[in-house]
Homo-oligomer: A and B are copies of this chain.
Amino acid sequence: MERKSIAPDGSEYELPSEERTEEEKDMIKEIVEEQKEKGKKIVVVQGLGFVGAVNAAVISNCEVDGEYPYYVIGVDLPNENSFWKIEKINQAESPFNVEDPRVQEMVEEGRKNDRLGATWVKEAYSLADIVIVDINLDVSKKEKGNIEDFDVNIGPFENAMKNIGENIDSDTLVLVETTVPPGTTEKIIKPIIEEELKKRGFDVDENPPLIAHSYERVMPGEKYVDSIINMWRTYSGINDRSTEHAEDFLSDLINTEDYPLWNLRKPVASEMGKILENSYRAMNIAFIHEWTLMAEDVGVNLFEVVDSISVREGTHDNMMYPGFGVGGYCLPEDPLLGEWASQELFGRNEELSFSKRAVKINDLMPLHTYDLIEEGLSGKVSGKKVCVLGASYRKDVDDTRNSPTVTLYDEIVDNGGNPVIHDPYADNIEGREDIEVYDDLDEVLFKSDAVVFVQPHKKYLDLPMEEITSKIEDEGCVVDAFDILDDKKIKYLKEQGIHVSGVGKGHIRDL
């Protein structure tokens, strides 16, 4: 049977044959030779996911004194999940549909001007001046909210490092941008690469490998490219030469005039920085969720209270609002990478208890919205049509990675209800192809028993309440899980006899 890799847009790509792979190896070599003659440095980006694909495009457009010093080769695996990304880039198409139009422009520019390509052959690493590691390092939980029995999928990551070690020159800089457990660069990556270099006869004492860590702070959305270029960057190498090489490259890529680089003393400090900042954010979200429940119980609109506090600039201005739940790759997983490192890489006993508890609370947060639905339907969810408005995990993007909508969906199903998911941007949910995501809002709302707003997408903020009142069933309910409805709209719905409640909006009962 012919194996294919299918892109989200439906395009199908046959996986490469051995013959094609052999040809590819020759072609890559030729391209690189040509580019090196032109004086270009070869940057190989390992991993063409959400970060790597965009990163490759951005680096290929990195301009220094009117020149484009880098030729970029994106590398991913020739399997069903990933091969389409390689083909897309080579067809001058961004593999991901992102809100920032500059991403597609940069892929086109990179291809058109012969500064960007993508491949699946590992030999690319052997031609690189710089290998950038942009693959994922995932946490697997037995189930959401289970923070005692989780694991870090270190195996595939180790294999990827082995791939690099088997191919690179001892003078290639390996720049790890992946979010990793603190200690990974020196305790996992360095030994693997040294071992592979030694196998190939390199003297790693004489010529220690060049490895550095510098985490990205990529943020999907309209400012995707800016979140790479115009963003603070921390870095640290395993030795002085690694640090210098990383600094040279980052100075070319980042707008260091406005965002000077932060050199930390050791890779473990840089690795810790990323985990610390995401743990902090995850905790601040979980913290507010505890107060959200309290605010509802005591009749307070917590959004207003947070507003009255976050005017205190510099100390309280980043206080989170109540919300529906947390998604993406970072916040549900990164805090556990810290705990894993603490135990597994450093043998510590003390817990990072705030981080762990944050993940637990955030994972289960959508169940609170379920409780409000159940309450709004007088305890009877079974057989009811529940419209969930929002499938992505952030407003006005189509990103559905670890979307909290899934948790709510499953809970409704488990209770016999009929969830119908709508999103104006996303047309499916990553990893849960069994869940249909509709884009016809009229149809979704028609004869619904509960309408649940979970993302403040523009379309929902602009939705006239008559669209709901004209379609919802008698004794229906509306749940506002993310401050999508203002008091005027809520009052109107209540006047029409609809039960309304909202996450963090205890004041609704008095409206």
Contacts and interface: CB of A to CB of B under 8 A. Distances in A.
Contact of A269 (B276, B287, B304): B304
A309 B266 contact: no
A308 B354 contact: no
Contact of A265 (B182, B262, B283, B507): B507
Interface stretch (A1-9, A151-159, A289-297): A289-297
A308 B352 contact: no
Contact of A277 (B283, B284, B312): B312
A11 interface: no
A492 interface: no
A272 B234 contact: no
Given A301-B269, A305-B264, A348 B290 contact: no
A276 to B, nearest CB: 6
Contact of A300 (B262, B272, B354): B272
A281 interface: yes
A312 B234 CA distance: 12
A273 B305 contact: yes
B305 A354 contact: no
Contacts of A317: 314, 318
B183 A294 contact: no
A131 interface: no
Contacts of A295: 272
A348 B297 contact: yes
A352 B294 CA distance: 9
A50 interface: no
B298 A264 contact: no
Given A273-B305, A308-B262, A316-B318, A268 B354 contact: no
A283 B280 contact: no
A361 B159 CA distance: 40
B309 A273 contact: yes
A300 B350 CA distance: 16
A300 B507 contact: no
A260 to B, nearest CB: 9
A281, A300, A304, A305: residue with the most chain B Cβ atoms closer than 10 Å: A305
A232 interface: yes
Given A269-B305, A305-B273, A316-B318, A298 B183 contact: yes
Contact of A308 (B234, B294, B510): B234
Nearest to A307: B262
A307 B348 CA distance: 25
Contacts of A354: 283, 286-287, 290, 354, 357
A299 interface: yes
A311 interface: yes
Contacts of A290: 350-355
A28 interface: no
Interface in A122-149: none
B294 A283 contact: no
A49 to B, nearest CB: 23
A315 B281 contact: yes
Contact of A357 (B268, B318, B353): B353
Contact of A182 (B234, B273, B298): B298
A337 to B, nearest CB: 13
Contacts of A355: 290
Contacts of A309: 273, 276-277, 280
A269 B302 CA distance: 8
A281 B305 CA distance: 16
Given A352-B294, A354-B354, A273 B308 contact: yes
A300 B268 contact: yes
Contacts of A507: 265
A291 B346 contact: no
A483 to B, nearest CB: 16
Contacts of A314: 317-318
28 contacts: A262-B308, A264-B304, A266-B299, A269-B301, A269-B304, A269-B305, A272-B295, A272-B305, A273-B308, A273-B309, A276-B291, A276-B306, A277-B309, A277-B319, A280-B309, A283-B354, A290-B352, A291-B352, A294-B342, A294-B346, A294-B350, A294-B352, A297-B342, A298-B346, A318-B318, A354-B354, A354-B357, A357-B357
Interface of A: 182-183, 232, 234, 262, 264-266, 268-269, 272-273, 276-277, 279-281, 283-284, 286-287, 290-291, 293-295, 297-301, 304-309, 311-312, 314-319, 338, 342, 346, 348, 350-355, 357, 507, 510
A-B pairs with lowest CB-CB distance, top 6:
A262-B308, A269-B300, A234-B308, A287-B354, A277-B309, A273-B305
